[in-house]
Structure 1
Amino acid sequence: MPSPADDASAHAEALELAAAGQDDAARALLADAVRRQLDPEAINDLAVLAHRCGDATEAVALLEALTHLAPDHTAARENLESLREIPAPWPPRLDRIAADGAVAALIEDHAELDPLRPGWMQRLEFERQLSVVHRDDEQWLVPGYCATCSTHQLFRCDWVSTWGGTPNFRERLHCPRCHLNSRQRLVTQLVKAMGQPPYYVYELVTTFYQWAATTLPQVTGSEYLGHDVPGGSVINGLRHEDALELSFADDSFGTIVSCDVFEHVADIDRALQECARVLRPGGTLILSVPFDPDSQTVQRVELRDGEPVHLLEPVYHGNPLDQEKGSLTFYDHGWDLVDRMRSAGFSRAGVVAAWSQYHGYLGRGMQFVLVAQR
């Protein structure tokens, strides 16, 4: 069993690796030492390395734990305050998503999608063949690595939701440990790479919120409970917020996360403006919606005198608070959503395009998550 002297030696070796620019190796070595012995100086240095490796969430969590463990540790308090003032990294670090040689890229201009297109048909064909193999199976397991749990898992897949003759992989491939599906697990990886507290999440009764509340520091969640409910009200333990008129003060959050909510808002531009308002300068919006990068946004419903007027055939998606009816879809989002984010007050905006067999990020040959920085 390693002794305290061995851990001190590992700490010194980690600092030498960091000085040589080998931050990932230094972080791994120092993390092992900290797990064996909670040395305040080592924890502080590990937090600095985590931030340099693009993991601001872990850096803040380590420093917050250290300030409780050693309240008089001046460097930890100063580092914590400075981290909270530093904007999230842009572009986000995506190398861990593409560790298996799959696709992971930040696209800020539509033309940047072109280099990704040659493999699109091959990825779609892989998904089709996987579906053919399991066409007679009610449920099956797909091996992969859950980055949310940091463990290898067997992801559950079925035919409950379909797309074009295949399972809707984006909504399936649930991890048996964290219970998150493919798109949710991808979002957690981006949150880990880009997120900084405090966090606001547009959900409260979901498995994604449970992950956020138990993993991230300073998390606020909410649900939409009706147009006549005052913002910030708590009913039966649920906080109500209207995306078009958030009750929070300006500059309240470091990160906002929305998982498949903004196709259901009545005014997408106003909702994005509210995000920009309550984010602090340098704060990050991480936003997933059903998204077609080669189309423009189509409005399916508009409100007139407070009542929905259908411009196209009504479409409803699942809603944990109304499982019988679901949530009405107001928009089919396309590439102009990136431009709308910039117009709403974000200085940078783009789309993370990702597909990984290893991580179980499948679906339509490519998944997309929108990201923006105020």
Structure 2
Amino acid sequence: MALALTRYIPHWRHLAIHESSPTLRGISPKLRRECAGYVESQYFPKERLGSNIKGVRNENLEAQTFSDAAFDLVVTLDVMEHVNMPDRVTKEVFRTLKPGGAYLFTVPTYKGKSDSERRALYRLDGTIQYTSEPEYHGNPVSDAGSLVTFHYGYDLPELIHQWSGMDVEVYRFHDHRHGIIGEFTEVYLAHKRAR
């Protein structure tokens, strides 16, 4: 992510940036430290959206409280595989981006999948419908972890375009100099067209 950010958005320090679900390592501390227009959010489901919880803004990516065209850049690192309705997330990202803005994100992309697969669905009544064996990843705000709702395939860029109208570039790194080797090295850059 850091390599893609410096290569493709070198002026990021001067932008209004929203990062959802930042961690204490990786690119998140650098964004927080070096970008005056940086806003971070986490999702605390039982708290009021838009409120400040322990110094962090509470936002549900599927129903954000930010105003339209608030940001030049939205960033998420391995978040999209945990959202319930990715179509709503990309529509909300599009809404909160300024014209010409971008959504930079990572998400595990499975090389053997041409079609993305839903693995779990949060129902309105609070229950979970599992379509595959439950899988959990780390969660910066909960020791219970984050349920994986999707395994994405190579159709993800087209899905994002269908959901939001954004055009998507995918960068796959195999870079010995920077130690970026192996699977799941994709970085996505979705663009909201300037008017």
Alignment TM class, shorter chain as reference: 0.7 to 0.9
User: Corresponding residue for 1:308?
Assistant: 128
- Deviations along 1:12-63, one digit per CA (max 9) or x if unpaired, are xxxxxxxxxxxxxxxxxxxxxxxxxxxxxxxxxxxxxxxxxxxxxxxxxxxx
| Residue identity (%) | 27
In 1, the alpha carbon distance for the partners of 2:92 and 2:78 equals: 17
Specify whether residues 187 and 321 from structure 1 end up closer, same or farther in structure 2 by C-alpha distance, changes over 3 A only: farther
C-alpha displacement of 1:346: 3.5
In 2, the alpha carbon distance for the partners of 1:232 and 1:348 equals: 28
More helix by share: 1
C-alpha displacement of 1:204: 4.2
User: Corresponding residue for 2:173?
Assistant: 354
Pick one of 8, 14, 18 that aligns with 1:200.
18
C-alpha displacement of 1:190: 4.8
In 1, the alpha carbon distance for the partners of 2:182 and 2:37 equals: 32
In 1, the alpha carbon distance for the partners of 2:126 and 2:11 equals: 37
Is 1:281 the counterpart of 2:91? The answer is: no
In 1, the alpha carbon distance for the partners of 2:68 and 2:178 equals: 37
C-alpha displacement of 1:336: 1.7
User: Corresponding residue for 1:244?
Assistant: 62
Is 1:189 the counterpart of 2:19? The answer is: no
User: Corresponding residue for 2:53?
Assistant: 235
C-alpha displacement of 1:294: 4.6
Gaps of 5+ in 1: 1-183
Paired residues in the alignment total: 188
Pick one of 71, 91, 95 that aligns with 1:253.
71
Spell out the pairing of 1:148-159 with structure 2 (5 A cutoff).
Answer: none
User: Corresponding residue for 1:20?
Assistant: none
User: Corresponding residue for 1:369?
Assistant: 187
Is 1:292 the counterpart of 2:113? The answer is: no
- Deviations along 1:46-97, one digit per CA (max 9) or x if unpaired, are xxxxxxxxxxxxxxxxxxxxxxxxxxxxxxxxxxxxxxxxxxxxxxxxxxxx
Q: TM-score, normalised by structure 2?
A: 0.88
In 1, the alpha carbon distance for the partners of 2:55 and 2:92 equals: 24
Structure 1 letter corresponding to 2:103: L
User: Corresponding residue for 1:333?
Assistant: 152
Structure 2 letter corresponding to 1:309: Q
SS at 1:371 equivalent: strand
Contact 2:22 2:76 in 1 (8 A): no
Moved over 6 A (4+): none
Q: TM-score, normalised by structure 1?
A: 0.47
Specify whether residues 213 and 355 from structure 1 end up closer, same or farther in structure 2 by C-alpha distance, changes over 3 A only: same
Structure 2 letter corresponding to 1:218: G
C-alpha displacement of 1:189: 3.2
Spell out the pairing of 1:41-56 with structure 2 (5 A cutoff).
Answer: none
C-alpha displacement of 1:293: 4.5
User: Corresponding residue for 1:129?
Assistant: none
Spell out the pairing of 1:68-147 with structure 2 (5 A cutoff).
Answer: none
Contact 1:194 1:284 in 2 (8 A): no
Structure 1 letter corresponding to 2:179: G
